[in-house]
Amino acid sequence: MAGLIVVSPLSQGVTEHDNQVEFKSCSESQCPDTTPGPQVSSLVFYFDGNYYVTDGQPWDGVTINNITSQMGYPAYQADVYAGRQSSELPAKFFNDRSGGISVGPCGTYLSPLESLNFALSGILEIEGNDYPIVIGQNGVSGENCWYLGPNASGFKVIQWFRAWDNGTYEYLLTPDGQYRMGVTANAATPYIFYVSKNQ
């Protein structure tokens, strides 16, 4: 996870793109209005090698970058080098693993996603604890939005309301109840997932 993040407009066709997604654990002062729980001490994302991209679209792998020192708090970035053409099969890959559950800046769903550009699975390691997840990207309202789902049983979807501005924060609660993996309903940051302790 490194360098300036640019949210590119929705684009299609047989073209490879650098698709970036971030996992962050920042304090409330560092990330105002996004983190309803205490910051974690360490965070790592691992790609497990499993993925699905729309047929005929390029796929050139995933690179993982530790941007903790750059950001000043635990943070990882994954760069997915792939095409952007939505179809049903990447969504099926995602849904088969998540049980049809997903959270994302462009919408949280308790029913299966209908289409995605691509999807991949991996491990989000939080303070030494491993949690299997699946992530995917799709074009929504001119932006390339990311979705996060569980790749194991026992996760719960929780919605947290911010009374001061009537905003919402949706997150996955890990099966052991220790951590939250969530998003703000903010299409301006369609590539960021926030991680915090569940306290």
Residues 6+ apart with CB under 8 A from 199: 37, 38
pTM for this one?
0.87
Mean pLDDT over the full length of the chain: 86
Q: How far is residue 95's CA from residue 113's CA, in Å, rounded to a whole number? A: 7
Given pLDDT bands bounded at 50, 70 and 90, which one contains residue 25?
A: very high
For the chain, what percent of residues have pLDDT higher than 70? 84
For residue 189, the model assigns a pLDDT of 74
Phi–psi pair at 52, nearest 5 degrees: -145, 130
For residue 110, the model assigns a pLDDT of 73
Query: What is the distance of C-alpha 164 from the center of its chain?
Result: 26
Given pLDDT bands bounded at 50, 70 and 90, which one contains residue 4?
A: very low
Q: Are strands 17-24 and 192-197 parallel, antiparallel or unpaired?
A: parallel
Structure tokens at 19: 């698709």
Q: Which residues pair with 116 in a beta bridge?
A: 87
Given pLDDT bands bounded at 50, 70 and 90, which one contains residue 129?
A: very high
For residue 140, the model assigns a pLDDT of 77
Q: Are strands 192-197 and 179-184 parallel, antiparallel or unpaired?
A: antiparallel
72: number of Cβ within 10 Å: 11
For residue 126, the model assigns a pLDDT of 97
Residues 6+ apart with CB under 8 A from 98: 134, 149, 150, 151
Structure tokens at 184: 């703000």
Contact 82, 118 (CB under 8 A): yes
Phi–psi pair at 95, nearest 5 degrees: -65, -35
For residue 158, the model assigns a pLDDT of 87
Please state whether 168 falls in left (phi above 0), alpha (psi between -120 and 50) or beta. beta
Contact 74, 128 (CB under 8 A): no
Contact 123, 131 (CB under 8 A): yes
